[in-house]
Structure 1
């Protein structure tokens, strides 16, 4: 079994909010390295804690199980999304706001590519981690739906709950498509450009009432490049090809 380098502990690392964030991330980094080197099943909580320079009790103050440690920044991202919603201009299209908020998920993956790629490989190979990832995505989607429902209700939309659930699912699907394609490529390419195209497609599909609407049924394989999907849907909608994606 390969030994991971032991990280030096910081004095009272968890004494402040910033220190607690750093410690969560140190534990996540230690865990992903050990899982990748030694295997998920063979790695123990004690080994993860030791590699991060803390004790077992400290680990369990932050995470209930070793399944949780790979998604250490999940609560932070949810809090940041909710802050985006709270600060948003009420006159702004809520779908646009929701797309901007979920972009924080992509930012978090891009900020630590090495950990993101290792985590992606692990979630593909370990069912317990894949299930945890699905639960994480579901929570993001529910946060989006709550915001959208509140905005639609403010507008007197009688179908606010259903509309919010459908649009939140579409935003989550667009985000996941872009993220997984980017991770499969090894983090190559501009993830922000891919996200802008995907979210523009969602925006076109759910533009506010009063604008020109159309229904398009497109039959494509899952391997169809996103740029081609966007181009063909826009062409079917009669959208101006020179209009920039928003």
Structure 2
């Protein structure tokens, strides 16, 4: 490696990753220290030891610096779904794929916790986070629709949309619980419990069986509802059908 390359870390893939991370850390720390509105792109660039032009090579705005890797994680998810064995349970595959988002947050707990504190107080950042979740959910729905159509499931579009929303809701509940705990909970074990609930709720051929004369249960829930609340309401509905 030449002396010039060592002096310019942005010249390598690893260097660009480190520089992007440095800009994110600088942005988050400055937002906490002096406030979101008071912090400028120039402030962030200076704190990271680079110029304004370098900042804009990596991010379009200071908001983008808070969520640096969502596009990359989304591509990883799409690749994982495209490469998945089509004989496997589609819901299980989707739950594994959303685990990549969880990995992203767990890879740097300090940054994730600080980011969470910011999204609770800065509405534009919270809106950005919600938009990111919606992008993941649409990718899951597209994958599931294709799988359900290939498997001959009735109502593949509706079933895929509902299942994708359930996967996203389970993940969001697990992640927020971990963030609220200050990163102290065993998030992996809790995630497995939450995803197992989703997998059980959408068994292969479940839609087909419901159209063959069995009762159908429809529950309307907020996307932020806890997985325990989802199970409770489904239980109530089933007891009403079969007292």
Corresponding pairs, count: 230
Change in Cα spacing, 1:159 to 1:17, as seen in structure 2 (3 Å) is: farther
Question: Is residue 2:158 matched to residue 1:162?
Answer: yes
Counterpart residue number, 2:109: 113
Match of 1:104 among 100, 104, 107: 100
- Structure 1 distance, partners of 2:227, 2:154, is 33
Deviation at 1:168, TM superposition (A): 0.8
Instruction: Find out whether 1:135 has 2:131 as its counterpart.
Output: yes
What is the distance in 2 between the residues matched to 1:113 and 1:225?
22
Equivalent position to 2:51, from 47, 52, 55 = 55
TM-score of the aligned structures, taking structure 1 as reference length? 0.82
Alignment match of 2:122 (pick from 115, 123, 126): 126
Distance 1:235 1:169 in 2: 21
Q: CA-to-partner distance for each residue in 1:140-168, whole Å, 9 max, x for gaps?
A: 11111121122122223352222211111
Structure with a larger share of its residues in helix = 2
Q: 1:21–1:150: structure 2 CA closer, same or farther, 3 Å change rule?
A: farther
1:201-233 deviation line (CA, Å, top 9, x unaligned): 111111111698776688999999756865896
d(CA) in 1 for partners of 2:125 and 2:166? Answer: 23
User: Unaligned regions of 5+ residues in structure 1, if any?
Assistant: 1-9, 238-246
TM-score by length of 2: 0.83
SS in 1 for 2:203: coil
Any gaps of 5 or more consecutive residues in structure 2? 1-5, 239-243
Pairwise mapping of residues 199-214 of structure 1 onto structure 2 (< 5 A)?
199-209=195-205
Counterpart in the other structure of 1:6: none
1:78 aligns with 2:96: no
What does residue 39 of structure 2 align with?
A: 43
Q: Are the aligned partners of 1:24 and 1:73 in contact in 2 as well (CA < 8 Å)?
A: no
Tell me if 1:12 matches 2:8: yes
* SS in structure 2 of the partner of residue 14 of structure 1: helix
